[in-house]
Amino acid sequence: MEILARLVFGFYAALIVSGALMAVVERGLVRSLVGLIATMFGVAGLYMLMAAPFVAFMQILIYVGGVSILIFFSIMLTKARPTGDEAKGRPLRKRFNALVTALAAGVVLASVILKFPIPSLETPRQVSGQQLGEGLLGPYLLPFELISVVLFVAMAAAVALAWQQWGKSK
Amino acid sequence: MEATLLDPRMFRIVAAAMALAAFVGLNALVLVYLERKIAGHVQRRPGPFEVGPHGLLQPLADALKLIGKQLFRPAGADALLFWMAPVVSFIPVLPLFLPIPFDPDLVAMHVEPGLLLILAFTGINVLALCMAGWGSNNKWSLLGASRAVAQSVAYEIPLLMALLAVTFMHGSLNLSEIVEAQGAWPWQWNAFIQPVAFIVYFTCAVAETNRAPFDLPEAESELTAGFHTEYSGMGFGLFFLAEYANMIVVCAVATALFLGGWQGPFFSGWWWFLAKTYALLMVIIWFRWTYPRVRFDQLLNINWKWLLPLSMVNLMVTALVMKLF
Amino acid sequence: MSALVLYQLVALFLLATGLYGFLWRRSLVAMLICLELMLNGAGLSIMAAAQLTPANAVLGQLGTLLVMGLAAAEATLVLAIVVVVTRRFKTSEMIAASELKG
What are the tens digits of pLDDT across the range B12-52?
888 888 999 899 888 988 898 888 888 888 888 888 888 77
Q: Does a structural domain hold residue B201?
A: yes
What is the per-residue pLDDT for A107?
93
Q: Say if CB B173 and CB B322 are below 8 A apart.
A: no
Q: Say if CB B132 and CB B227 are below 8 A apart.
A: yes
Q: Does a structural domain hold residue B44?
A: no
3-state secondary structure C91-102: CCEHHHHCCCCC
- Which helix (H) or strand (E) element contains residue B262? none
Q: Given a cut of 70, is residue B2 above it in pLDDT?
A: no
* Separation in Å, CA of B224 to nearest CA in chain A: 20
* B120 touches A: beta carbon within 8 Å: yes
What DSSP string describes chain C? --HHHHHHHHHHHHHHHHHHHHHH--BHHHHHHHHHHHHHHHHHHHHHHHHSSSS-HHHHHHHHHHHHHHHHHHHHHHHHHHHHHHHHHSS-BHHHH--S--
Is the pTM higher than 0.95? The answer reads no
Q: Where does the pLDDT of residue B1 fall: very low under 50, low under 70, confident under 90, or very high at 90 and above?
A: very low
Q: Does a structural domain hold residue A141?
A: yes
Q: Given a cut of 70, is residue B76 above it in pLDDT?
A: yes
Q: Which of A32, A76, A134, A148 to mutate to test the interface with B (most CBs of B within 10 A)?
A: A76
Domain that holds residue C86: 3-97
Q: A54 to chain B: nearest residue by CA?
A: B113
Domain that holds residue A163: 126-170
Give me the number of domains chain B comprises: 1
- Contacts C92 to A, Cβ<8 Å: 78, 80
Among B271, B11, B305, residue whose Cα is nearest residue B158: B305
Q: Say if CB B237 and CB B312 are below 8 A apart.
A: no
Question: Which among A26, A60, A85 is the end of a domain?
Answer: A85
Q: Does a structural domain hold residue C90?
A: yes
What is the per-residue pLDDT for A166?
55
Nearest-angstrom CA–CA distance, A155 and A165: 18
Question: Rounded mean pLDDT of B281-298?
Answer: 87
Q: Given a cut of 90, is residue B222 above it in pLDDT?
A: no
Give me the number of domains chain C comprises: 1
Q: Where does the pLDDT of residue B69 fall: very low under 50, low under 70, confident under 90, or very high at 90 and above?
A: confident
Question: Rounded mean pLDDT of A154-165?
Answer: 85
Cis peptide before B95 (omega within 30 of 0): no
* A3 touches B: beta carbon within 8 Å: yes
Question: Rounded mean pLDDT of C65-78?
Answer: 93
Q: Say if CB C61 and CB A52 are below 8 A apart.
A: yes
Q: A58 to chain C: nearest residue by CA?
A: C65
The residue with greater pLDDT, B281 or B261, is B281
The residue with greater pLDDT, A16 or B239, is A16
- Contacts A120 to C, Cβ<8 Å: 2-5, 52-53
- For A120-144, the pLDDT digits (tens) are 887 888 888 888 889 888 899 999 9
- How many other C-beta atoms lie within 10 A of the C-beta of residue B202? 21
* A57 touches B: beta carbon within 8 Å: yes
What DSSP string describes B66-108? HHHSPP---TTS-HHHHHHHHHHHHTTHHHHTTT-BSSTT-BS
Residues A71 and A131 in one domain: no
Residues 9-38 of A with CB under 8 A from B: 28, 30-31, 34, 37
Report CA dihedral (B110, B114, B118, B123) to the nearest 10 degrees.
-130
Q: Where does the pLDDT of residue C17 fall: very low under 50, low under 70, confident under 90, or very high at 90 and above?
A: very high
Q: Does a structural domain hold residue B16?
A: no
Q: List all chains that touch chain C, counting a touch as 3 or more CB pairs closer than 8 Å.
A: A
CATH of the domain at C56: 1.10.287.3510
Distance of CA A59 to the CA centre of its chain: 9
Give me the number of domains chain A comprises: 2
* Torsion B280-B93-B1-C60 (CA) sign: negative
Q: Say if CB B66 and CB B48 are below 8 A apart.
A: no
**What mean pLDDT, rounded, does chain A reach?**
86
Question: Which among A36, A70, A85 is the end of a domain?
Answer: A85
Q: Which of A3, A64, A131, A151 to mutate to test the interface with B (most CBs of B within 10 A)?
A: A64
**What mean pLDDT, rounded, does chain C reach?**
88
C68/A63 Cβ within 8 A: yes
Nearest-angstrom CA–CA distance, C69 and C90: 31
- Contacts C44 to A, Cβ<8 Å: 43, 46-47
What is the per-residue pLDDT for B121?
92
Q: Which residues pair with C27 in a beta bridge?
A: C93
- For B102-134, the pLDDT digits (tens) are 888 888 888 889 899 999 998 898 888 888 888
Nearest-angstrom CA–CA distance, B268 and B245: 25
Question: Rounded mean pLDDT of A83-89?
Answer: 56
Q: Given a cut of 90, is residue A162 above it in pLDDT?
A: no
Nearest-angstrom CA–CA distance, C37 and C94: 19
What is the per-residue pLDDT for C70?
94
- Contacts B134 to A, Cβ<8 Å: 30, 72, 75-76
Q: Given a cut of 70, is residue A84 above it in pLDDT?
A: no
* Separation in Å, CA of A103 to nearest CA in chain C: 7
- Contacts C38 to A, Cβ<8 Å: none
Q: Helices then strands (H, E): number in chain B?
A: 14, 0
A31/B78 Cβ within 8 A: yes
- Contacts B84 to A, Cβ<8 Å: 34
**Alpha-helix residue ranges (DSSP H) falling in B123-231:** 124-135, 139-170, 175-181, 190-193, 195-208
Residue type at B108 in one-letter notation: A
The residue with greater pLDDT, B4 or B271, is B271
Q: Given a cut of 60, is residue A170 above it in pLDDT?
A: no
What is the per-residue pLDDT for C100?
66
- Contacts B156 to A, Cβ<8 Å: 65
What is the per-residue pLDDT for B140?
76
What DSSP string describes B203-215? HHHHHHTT-TTS-
Residue type at B163 in one-letter notation: L
What is the per-residue pLDDT for A43?
96
Question: Rounded mean pLDDT of B261-275?
Answer: 85
What is the per-residue pLDDT for B221?
56
Nearest-angstrom CA–CA distance, B48 and B107: 36
Question: Rounded mean pLDDT of C86-98?
Answer: 72
* A64 touches B: beta carbon within 8 Å: yes
Q: Does a structural domain hold residue A112?
A: no
Q: Where does the pLDDT of residue B252 fall: very low under 50, low under 70, confident under 90, or very high at 90 and above?
A: very high
What is the per-residue pLDDT for A102?
92
* Separation in Å, CA of B12 to nearest CA in chain A: 16
Exposed, middle or buried: residue C70 (CB in 10 Å: 0-12, 13-18, 19+)? middle
A64/B123 Cβ within 8 A: yes
Q: Given a cut of 60, is residue A83 above it in pLDDT?
A: no
Question: Phi/psi zone of residue B56: left (φ > 0), alpha (ψ -120 to 50 degrees), beta?
Answer: alpha
Question: Phi/psi zone of residue B273: left (φ > 0), alpha (ψ -120 to 50 degrees), beta?
Answer: alpha
Domain that holds residue B123: 71-324
